[in-house]
Amino acid sequence: MKFFIIHEYNATNGFFAKFNYILGELCVADDKNLLPFIDYTTPTNIHDYTNTEVANEWEYCFIQKYNYDFVYNSKYEKSECTGKEWYDAHEKIFRNKEVTKKLHDTYLKHVIVKPEIFNKINPEIKKYKTLGVHCRRSDMAGSHPDIALNYSTDTFYQKVEKVFKDNNFEKIYLATEEIEIFEVFKERFGNKLFYEDCFRIKQNESPVYKMDSRPLHRTLQQQEVLLDALNLSKCDSFICGISSVSHAVIFINGLKYKEVYYFDEI
């Protein structure tokens, strides 16, 4: 038995940027016929038995089959960040069927979502022809200007409304971190709108700077965005921009969407 320890390569990345990277690393572990173990301890990502406050960020949301002591007392090798080769973060990933299927199969094999999150998936989504919508604007303009969606809130709504009406959808599941977008969709779609209560910010704010706004903010934020992604993956079709969240949703869904619409093509 030999383990493949997956460690953090960029501590400043968002939750789903890390998630997608980890999926790639899990593929590498399978290729090498090794058992994967994800060591995302914070703040140093170094396994330190003397620091009892260090927490494994991956385990905020997911269950691992093995614990630290067992893994680090066994034979192992550390990853060398080779998993990044499995996907290109700036392409419309749904159109790369081979990569999407590989990462979906890897997700099913290795990723175990904690029951307290998985059991919150909205069962009503599958009862209707539901359009999943991920609207991200906020901090993308500063961090990824080449792929950021700089539409007005009304433009986001108009694009979604067009797809909704043209394809006879019955419900919408909205995932957005922006208060303005959420309020407009809630007002205009009314009882046709599914959503989860979660932490939201104003346009151009960054959630990174809201760490002191509620206890356990980072943990709760990760659990909330994961639940949004799981709900989106249960929808009939999906509208999104290019982002780590939308890529992860597509990997989790695994080519079951009838259609994926990109905002810049509507």
Task: Determine what percent of the chain is predicted with pLDDT higher than 90.
Answer: 57
Asked if the model's pLDDT at residue 84 lies above 70, the reply is: no
CATH architecture of 122-265: 3-Layer(aba) Sandwich (3.40)
| The pTM of the whole model exceeds 0.85 | yes
Higher pLDDT, 156 or 200: 156
H or E stretch including 246?
helix 244-253
Question: What value does the mean pLDDT take over residues 185-199?
Answer: 94
CA distance 47 to 68: 8
CA distance 145 to 141: 5
Residue 240 · residue 259 · CB < 8 Å: no
Count, in order, helices (H) and strands (E) of the chain.
9, 10
How deeply is 191 buried, as exposed, middle or buried, from its count of CB atoms within 10 A (0-12, 13-18, 19+)? exposed
pLDDT at 128: 98
Which of 43, 30, 22, 141 has the alpha carbon at shortest distance from 87? Answer: 22
34-48, 149-163, 181-195 — most confident range:
181-195
- pLDDT, tens digit, 9 for 90 and up, residues 39-70: 888 654 444 444 444 578 899 899 999 988 89
pLDDT at 52: 45
Asked if the model's pLDDT at residue 85 lies above 70, the reply is: no
How deeply is 136 buried, as exposed, middle or buried, from its count of CB atoms within 10 A (0-12, 13-18, 19+)? buried
Asked if the model's pLDDT at residue 194 lies above 80, the reply is: yes
Of the given ranges (34-43, 130-139, 208-217), which has the lowest mean pLDDT?
208-217
Residue ranges with strand state E in 74-189:
75-78, 130-135, 171-176
Question: What value does the mean pLDDT take over residues 102-130?
Answer: 97
Asked if the model's pLDDT at residue 193 lies above 70, the reply is: yes
- pLDDT, tens digit, 9 for 90 and up, residues 125-143: 999 999 999 997 765 555 5
Beta bridge partners of 134: 175
pLDDT at 172: 98
Over the Cα atoms of the chain, what is R_g? 19
Of the given ranges (47-51, 106-110, 126-130, 147-151), which has the lowest mean pLDDT?
47-51
Distances (CA, A) of 231 to 38, 118, 240, 258, 266: 24, 10, 14, 16, 23
Of the given ranges (27-36, 69-78, 117-126, 146-155), which has the lowest mean pLDDT?
146-155
DSSP state letter for 3: E
Residue 55 · residue 23 · CB < 8 Å: no
7-21, 54-68, 69-83, 201-215 — most confident range:
54-68
User: Residues with Cβ < 8 Å from 181, sequence gap 6 or more?
Assistant: 135, 137, 153, 156, 157, 174
Residue 79 · residue 22 · CB < 8 Å: no
Residue 16 · residue 249 · CB < 8 Å: no
- How high is the mean pLDDT of the chain? 85
Of the given ranges (26-30, 117-121, 197-201), which has the lowest mean pLDDT?
197-201
Domain boundaries, the chain: 2-86, 122-265
pLDDT at 251: 95
pLDDT band at 256 (very low <50, low <70, confident <90, very high): very high
pLDDT at 34: 94
